[in-house]
Amino acid sequence: MPGLDLLVANLLSPIVLAFVLGAIAGFIRSELELPEPVLKLLSIYLLLSIGLTGGRELAKAGLGEVAGLLAVAIALTLALPVTTYAVLRRLGGFDVANAAAVAAHYGSVSSVTFFAALAFARAAGFPAEGYVTAVVAVMEWGVIIALLLARIGLGREAGTLGFGAVIADTLRGRGILLLSGGMAIGALAGDPGWAQVAPFYEQLFRGILMLFLLEMGMTAARQVRDFAQVGLFLTGFAVAAPVVFGAVGVVAGWLAGLSQGGAFVLGAICASSSYIDAPAACRAALPQASPGIYLTASLGVTFPFNLLIGLPLYFALAARLYAV
């Protein structure tokens, strides 16, 4: 069975096994840990590496080739947080603050899931277009859409920050800054400039990603202990949402003219949920929302689901579409 083969191959990849090792270390309360400064350095490296590669590809592609994809990205940036917010409010009975906080996470992007999807696509022999990175930069704005929904729901007096301050804080976040800045550098430097740094950003990428996922496994294991707080409805949502959003992303990529690998990576982007930039924005703008709810759903449920099961599922859907 092709789908089973993909699942087994993903589970046995070094990147996923590093995550599993980290999860085991977390469950047994191992002394293993990576210092916070090291984690920040790894995150900066990964984000800047992807930005540089995406900028090079954007410069080569030209505006006409990416205009349709960027239009799709903008539509998804609006649709995913609005859908999440509506489902949690109307079906889950969540209050405005917690529904908006969860929407901020699921409307934004997990950069680590994106990195893993790129590696998965390359390993499968269907590398994605480098300019798909632009979608990640655009969809980081999903946090702002969700927080705008919160402002509407709570009224002008809610929250401790004005909406302009929320936008400024989001723009200062390392995700948008490093991805956008890296893309600008990659586009301006071109191939001659890239050749000077390629050994550092190409040869080391997967090894550094393994170290980062080792820590993510430990962090996810700690969040799993809080399952009781998120409740049955949100646990189900944290599994169902990536499947639905991932399928939408794959189909959108197919309609936008991406390659099979590109459509798969777009699906993984849509299926992912932020747990780095979105929590910082929610802590500042929605202090009344519970981190135990939005972090457990995003990092404790959706992230491991995507890494272990979701990626092969979205790739199989992309393969089915492109086989027609």
For 270-314, the pLDDT digits (tens) are 999 987 777 767 776 777 888 778 888 888 889 989 988 999 999
Is residue 263 within 8 Å of residue 248, measured between CB atoms? no
Domain segments of the chain as ranges: 2-17+34-323
> Which residues, 6+ apart, have CB-to-CB distance to 271 below 8 Å?
113, 241, 242, 243, 245, 246, 249, 302, 306, 310, 314
Paired tokens of 81: 């947080």
> Using 50, 70 and 90 to split pLDDT, how confident is the model at 53?
confident
* Residue range 2-17+34-323, CATH number: 1.20.1530.20
Would the pTM count as exceeding 0.95? no
Mean pLDDT of 137-149: 83
**DSSP assigned state of 192:** H
Q: What Cα–Cα distance (Å) separates residue 139 from each residue in 155, 166, 226, 276?
A: 25, 16, 28, 14
Least reliable range by pLDDT among 86-90, 94-98, 132-136, 319-323: 132-136
What pLDDT is stored for residue 238 in this prediction? 94
Residue with tokens 């300019």: 131
What is the Cα–Cα distance from 299 to 294, expressed in whole angstroms? 8
Is residue 86 within 8 Å of residue 166, measured between CB atoms? no
Paired tokens of 260: 């099979």
Least reliable range by pLDDT among 88-92, 144-148, 150-154: 150-154
Composition of the chain by helix, strand, coil, percent to 5: 85, 0, 15
Please give the distance of CA 244 from its chain centroid, rounded to a whole number: 15
Q: Which of 9-18, 39-48, 189-198, 247-256 tops mean pLDDT?
A: 247-256
Taking alpha carbons only, the member of 204, 218, 231, 238 closest to residue 310 is 238
Q: Could you report the per-residue pLDDT of 97-120, keeping only the tens digit for each?
A: 899 999 999 998 888 899 889 989
What pLDDT is stored for residue 182 in this prediction? 82
